[in-house]
């Protein structure tokens, strides 16, 4: 067991992590979860997350053991705070008497007061210099210029837990493959297909619909089936792309679970998407991708493997033809002249 210089002995047995964020954010934290569980294999590790994330904990049960939903918190934009539920949430967490609470919810400017309310014996995490630092011994100045994956690995290193690689993961189970088999049969999915994902939670991160349609048509002209992916809330967006296309496409927005979507992505020849959750899924299942950055920082959010994933850093200024050229060139590089 590594020497945990900043965590008092005995080593913590009950750990709670605050990371109430969406799928891409959670996937970027998996290497840190892996380092934590490797360093403390006997520890019981709980994630405090958005209500949907119980499914994430079930999938990543090699690293996470339990889940507590956060009822929101003032200043967290991911969900509206249910103030009436907060006292019960806090009482529940405090009763569990965690040995260590780790703040992995951004820089700490908003989240550090919350982590201190959880009642753990020790707290650790990030802080912004000049802002509230709960414990200089266990809180790391926020490494805002690091890639998101390494931001959290730096915290693990700081606490005495060596990284176990920086690659993402997305475990796929029999249920995911069975669901994909059903979708494949129902919609006649071909063996050579690309996934086009035009959505993103924020409007400013979305590349224009007509340009996605143009790229999709260009890939279809190379004999690839085009599958449009997205959440149920993004169905109008994928329908708009389909309407702009000259070639046929298969629109699966809202028709797959997260696991089946990842299985679908894992079998794709290529993913073309905005900087959003599916880009991190493609990285986790090692499917080649083109990731379009319109507003977010590619230095922070780009995939680690830039041989497998190509990044378009100024997407709003990039034409359909430029992105299509990158997509076809990348396919030729990866699949050795398959087109």
pLDDT tens for each residue of 266-294: 999 999 999 999 999 999 999 999 999 99
CA distances from 84 to 47, 109, 291 (A): 21, 23, 40
Residues 6+ apart with CB under 8 A from 93: 16, 48, 68, 118, 119
Do 115 and 243 lie in one domain? The reply is: no
State the pLDDT at residue 4.
65
Select from 159, 187, 209 the last residue of a domain. 159
Contact 157, 163 (CB under 8 A): yes
With respect to residue 64, please indicate whether it lies within any of the assigned structural domains: yes
Q: What is the DSSP letter of 52?
A: G
- Cis ω before 84 (30° cut-off from 0): no
Do 190 and 97 lie in one domain? The reply is: no
With respect to residue 317, please indicate whether it lies within any of the assigned structural domains: yes
* Cα 143 to Cα 146: distance, rounded to the nearest angstrom: 6
* Torsion 195-200-205-207 (CA) sign: positive
Do 33 and 107 lie in one domain? The reply is: yes
Range(s) of the domain holding residue 35: 14-159
State the pLDDT at residue 277.
96
* Average pLDDT of the segment spanning 166-181: 98
Do 223 and 246 lie in one domain? The reply is: yes
Tens of pLDDT, residue by residue over 72-104, are 999 999 999 999 999 999 999 999 999 999 999
CATH number, domain containing residue 200: 3.40.50.2000
Percent of the chain with pLDDT over 70: 97
* Cα 282 to Cα 58: distance, rounded to the nearest angstrom: 20
Do 37 and 186 lie in one domain? The reply is: no
Q: Is the pLDDT of residue 2 over 70?
A: no
Do 271 and 234 lie in one domain? The reply is: yes
With respect to residue 167, please indicate whether it lies within any of the assigned structural domains: no
Do 199 and 317 lie in one domain? The reply is: yes
* Cα 228 to Cα 216: distance, rounded to the nearest angstrom: 9
Select from 110, 128, 159 the last residue of a domain. 159
* Cα 49 to Cα 216: distance, rounded to the nearest angstrom: 35
Do 229 and 293 lie in one domain? The reply is: yes
Do 153 and 191 lie in one domain? The reply is: no
With respect to residue 165, please indicate whether it lies within any of the assigned structural domains: no
Q: What is the DSSP letter of 11?
A: P
Contact 331, 339 (CB under 8 A): yes
Going across the sheet that includes 100-103, the strands are: 66-69, 44-49, 14-18, 100-103, 122-127, 139-141
Residues 6+ apart with CB under 8 A from 130: none
Q: How many domains does the chain contain in total?
A: 2
Q: Is the pLDDT of residue 1 over 50?
A: no
Torsion of CA 188, 287, 150, 15, to 10 degrees: 40
Tens of pLDDT, residue by residue over 31-63, are 999 999 999 999 999 999 999 999 999 999 999
State the pLDDT at residue 5.
64
Q: Is the pLDDT of residue 337 over 60?
A: no
Q: What is the DSSP letter of 175?
A: H
Do 216 and 310 lie in one domain? The reply is: yes
**Model confidence at 202, in pLDDT bands (50, 70, 90)?**
confident
> What global pTM score does this model have?
0.95
Do 137 and 249 lie in one domain? The reply is: no
Q: Quote the longest CA-to-CA distance of the chain.
A: 65
Contact 226, 249 (CB under 8 A): yes
Select from 159, 188, 206 the last residue of a domain. 159
Looking at per-residue confidence, does 22 or 6 come out higher? 22
With respect to residue 7, please indicate whether it lies within any of the assigned structural domains: no
Do 210 and 77 lie in one domain? The reply is: no
């Amino acid at each position: 067991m590594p020497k945990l210089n900043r965590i008092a002995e005995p080593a913590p047995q009950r750990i709670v992590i605050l990371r109430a964020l969406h799928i891409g954010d959670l996937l970027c934290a998996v290497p840190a979860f892996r380092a934590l569980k490797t360093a403390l294999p006997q520890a019981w590790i709980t994630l405090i997350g958005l209500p949907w994330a119980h499914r994430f904990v079930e999938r990543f049960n090699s690293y996470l053991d339990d889940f507590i939903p956060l009822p929101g918190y003032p200043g967290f934009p991911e969900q509206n705070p249910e103030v009436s539920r907060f006292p019960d949430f806090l009482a529940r967490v405090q009763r569990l008497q965690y040995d260590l609470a780790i703040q992995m919810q951004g820089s700490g400017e908003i989240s550090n007061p919350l982590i201190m309310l959880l009642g753990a014996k020790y707290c650790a995490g990030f802080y912004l210099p000049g802002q509230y630092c709960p414990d200089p011994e266990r809180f790391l100045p926020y490494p805002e210029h690091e890639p998101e994956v390494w931001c959290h690995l730096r915290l693990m290193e700081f606490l005495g837990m060596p990284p176990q690689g920086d690659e993402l993961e997305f475990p796929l189970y029999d249920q995911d493959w069975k669901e994909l088999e059903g979708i494949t049969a129902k919609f006649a999915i071909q063996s050579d297909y690309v996934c086009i994902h035009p959505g993103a939670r924020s409007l400013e991160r979305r590349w224009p619909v007509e340009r996605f349609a143009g790229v999709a048509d260009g890939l279809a002209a190379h004999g690839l089936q085009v599958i449009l992916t997205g959440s149920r809330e993004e169905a109008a967006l994928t329908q708009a792309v389909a309407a702009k296309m000259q070639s046929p496409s298969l629109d699966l927005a809202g028709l797959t679970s997260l696991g089946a979507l990842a299985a679908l992505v894992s079998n794709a020849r290529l993913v073309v998407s905005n900087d959003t959750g599916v880009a991190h899924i493609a990285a986790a299942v090692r499917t080649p991708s083109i990731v379009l950055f319109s507003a977010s920082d590619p230095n922070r959010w780009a995939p680690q493997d830039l041989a497998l994933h190509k990044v378009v850093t100024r997407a709003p200024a990039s034409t359909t033809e430029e992105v299509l050229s990158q997509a076809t060139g990348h396919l030729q590089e990866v699949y050795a002249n398959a087109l």
